């Protein structure tokens, strides 16, 4: 199974098969059996989902759905998997991204050399 397909399918499966109150999901072993892949592949996919802030892995407790801080990449994954998107979460994520992009542009401008500006002029002319 391709990594992107496994991620989207795993995310959808975790949402539909997690405990509605606690957010706890099936175990790595159960997930590996369900998808017909190794536990190592499940661990890798879970690490990506954790980096996207979709799940939280708790030592000796299990895997939990936690999307309050989901990344922009997570929102794209939700859309690909056909999962419901929270409008407030989308708005907050876009607002945070806007702040980060403005700061990144400020830093780039403050550190830019004349060669950088010349390259930008060339790009704008094209």
pTM for this predicted structure: 0.63
In whole angstroms, how far apart are CA 96 and each of 70, 71, 72, 78, 120?
Answer: 12, 10, 10, 18, 26
Angstrom distance (rounded) from CA 77 to CA 8:
6
Average pLDDT for consecutive 10-residue bins of the chain (126 residues)? 78 88 93 96 94 89 84 79 76 81 92 93 92
39-51 and 3-16 helices, crossing angle to 10°:
80
Terminal Cα distance for the chain, rounded:
42
Does residue 57 sit in helix, strand or coil? strand
- Beta bridge pairs of residue 57: 63
């Amino acid at each position: 199974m391709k990594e992107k397909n496994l991620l989207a399918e795993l995310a959808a499966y975790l949402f539909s098969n997690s405990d509605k109150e606690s957010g706890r999901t099936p175990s790595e072993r159960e997930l590996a059996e369900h998808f017909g892949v190794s536990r190592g592949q499940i661990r890798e996919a879970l690490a990506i989902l954790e980096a996207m802030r979709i799940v939280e892995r708790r030592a000796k407790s299990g895997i939990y759905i936690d999307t309050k801080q989901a990344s922009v990449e997570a929102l794209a994954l939700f859309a690909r998997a056909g999962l419901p998107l929270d409008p407030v979460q989308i708005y907050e994520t876009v607002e945070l991204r806007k702040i980060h992009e403005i700061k990144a542009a400020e830093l780039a401008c403050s550190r830019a050399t004349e060669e950088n500006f010349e390259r930008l002029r060339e790009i704008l002319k094209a």
